Structure 1
């Protein structure tokens, strides 16, 4: 529903702004990609904090600042408040990106979003934040813009190259693990919104799946941050121990790679773990994980339809079957933007153009996600994340992940042995 002072709904605003970024990049206005990787203090000073790199960071800030101000205008929010608040969020997010760029922390797969969330949580829980700052936070907007840009990396040609075995495993694992996780969550009394986020995160591709699902069902940002935290924390021991377990079981590199790719929830963690095993394991694990990532758009679309028809109806139509008009009104349009971006880059844009812009899109996509999690942290209290009610989702996730480990091992052995 569009309010009087809004020009567009939030979802259409996201689609407009996401494709605005895509179009300017395709026109040759490439997004700068600042470097955040460093190992020593001198490398931090000479590389990350160098004048040349800081200029790139300022340029990225300028682009995102314009987008933030434009979104405030389209959504009828305070432009003055956004003008003051966004630079603070961007500064905190830049700090998170620098921390995440440390080589030691990268080896542990501690991604930028966890630092963004942690910085926001520390500030919101130990300091009193001004009202004008918290009122201008745009968590959902940032997440959905990131997802539109994520669509540019889901190339259908690569899906075919990924191989039939990878796709078969991805389908079997995603469907079986998703329904098991959802069933366990409901049995433990977890609400449906939380259950869907947990199920998507554990079965598809971790962080990205949780974010996409939350956007599709207009989920609670506090629940989303909780699921993301579980995903990232759980990935660390899995990176370390699964390769050793595979070796103890005498599994081949192909089976091990398929097992890692289908079990570990984040792409970065899969690559890190596959590298520990060997070249073939790394290749197979990447193919399987990519196959699961490809299913994200289809899953988000299906979840959107399901949620619209069962849980997202107004009181006046709750008792009757929703019409196509109601489904369209309630359907999250950003999902269409994600699919449109994927189709555009799969069948219209040349591979040479894609190669020239994909680095900038990947960096910008990661930045929007990090901005979103800084915002989530700034509006969340520890008491909300670690309440007694928070134990059930954790147990449900761990049980589903254990099921995922055994099912994926069985499927990987059957297909790749």
Structure 2
């Protein structure tokens, strides 16, 4: 067995900052278009030669990163060379499906399509061993999280507004602990409970991904939580604006309620748009305030998990020391924070504007690649077993609590 040159977390930090460095040196990260409404749009906007060339360039860029990671981590480079192109093609199909205007209006994000495609293939076909061996779910997720750090700008906390930040703190803390308490009362294991709590209280998909990475969570559990988040968001987009209208809430209160309750940014924007301009503005501010807390939450969860959840005999014999905590601490969280600090205080706004589009596209691609991989690794029998009903019930109970608590806080702060 080839010895690893670096741990996976340090490899992710290295590769993430190689990507950032390349972009800052002036190499433009291609951002292919996936938006379309009709089949004519599909052929004229997405399947054009120029757009396909951009997609090909993006493939080469990510393929080199994947091969480099496999080499550094001691994985089979040959399997990665055969498997990654397949995962990329499947993920590209998911991105095209998610780009359809009708599906976008329903907030069906790319990750749900990539997960679904992977699940269908893994459950109805026998996949070759070299393909499953090539899958690097955690690696893809963590690279995406490093790039996500470039968009979490500390200075924007002030722009989010003091009221939005106060609401975010109250909601995140109260809902997180309630969700965790409910999950534990229902007999759900702590790993699953932490993922559910973060997803329902902070910012849905991104929070679930970040939390899973911080505690090195089971990818099957992560895919379950992501599925619940995305599916639950759809009826909330539609019904919450009508409920707010029936209650006679102002646009400001409605926007704060939507931003603090709905778990994905895209769904918040869609729902806020249905209410009005002020509601859209306030809902975006509140949701951004919650998104800003993601890095701090991931850091705190990482510390908690590393101190309390390593059951090896060596650790059981002694209390965790600083060195033990450091050894177990997920280093990619430091990369996330470092990227945020770099783009908050060092990189100029002009440079940021020139690279943020490419980073956002690449971040979304890495997440989608990860969920294609999760789908290819997961069986329906595992995902929707009888035991899987408890996490669903815990999530729905916590979300209901979130709806009422956030409404009360929003009314007090914004009415």
TM-score (norm 1): 0.99
Alignment match, 1:181: 179
Alignment match, 2:357: 359
The alignment status of 1:333 with 2:334, answered yes or no, reads: no
Alignment match, 1:395: 393
Residues of 2 paired with 1:309 and 1:211: CA distance? 21
Q: What SS is found at the alignment partner of 1:16?
A: helix
CA drift at 1:153: 0.2
CA drift at 1:4: 5.3
CA drift at 1:5: 1.7
Aligned length: 415
Alignment match, 1:198: 196
Residues of 2 paired with 1:288 and 1:89: CA distance? 35
Residues of 2 paired with 1:4 and 1:138: CA distance? 17
Please give the residue correspondences for 1:86-97 in structure 2 after superposition, counting only pairs within 5 Å.
86-97=84-95
CA drift at 1:312: 2.3
Alignment match, 2:123: 125
Residues of 1 paired with 2:386 and 2:76: CA distance? 37
CA drift at 1:318: 1.6
Alignment match, 2:307: 309
The alignment status of 1:143 with 2:141, answered yes or no, reads: yes
The alignment status of 1:346 with 2:312, answered yes or no, reads: no
Could you report, residue by residue, the CA deviation over 1:19-47 in whole angstroms, capped at 9, with x for unpaired residues?
A: 00000000100101000000000110111
Residues of 2 paired with 1:186 and 1:179: CA distance? 11
Q: Which of the residues 72, 80, 98 maps onto 1:82?
A: 80
Residues of 2 paired with 1:118 and 1:151: CA distance? 27
Could you report, residue by residue, the CA deviation over 1:235-290 in whole angstroms, capped at 9, with x for unpaired residues?
A: 00000000000000000000000000000000000000000000000000000000
Residues of 2 paired with 1:148 and 1:386: CA distance? 31
Q: What SS is found at the alignment partner of 1:185?
A: helix
Residues of 1 paired with 2:250 and 2:332: CA distance? 41
Alignment match, 1:168: 166
Could you report, residue by residue, the CA deviation over 1:367-394 in whole angstroms, capped at 9, with x for unpaired residues?
A: 0000000000001000000100000000
Residues of 2 paired with 1:321 and 1:394: CA distance? 35
Deviating above 3 A after TM superposition, structure 1's stretches of 4 or more consecutive aligned residues are none
Alignment match, 2:43: 45
Alignment match, 1:134: 132
Give structure 1 stretches of 5+ with no counterpart.
Answer: none
Could you report, residue by residue, the CA deviation over 1:273-322 in whole angstroms, capped at 9, with x for unpaired residues?
A: 00000000000000000000000000000000000000025221224310
Alignment match, 1:28: 26
* CA RMSD between the two structures: 0.7
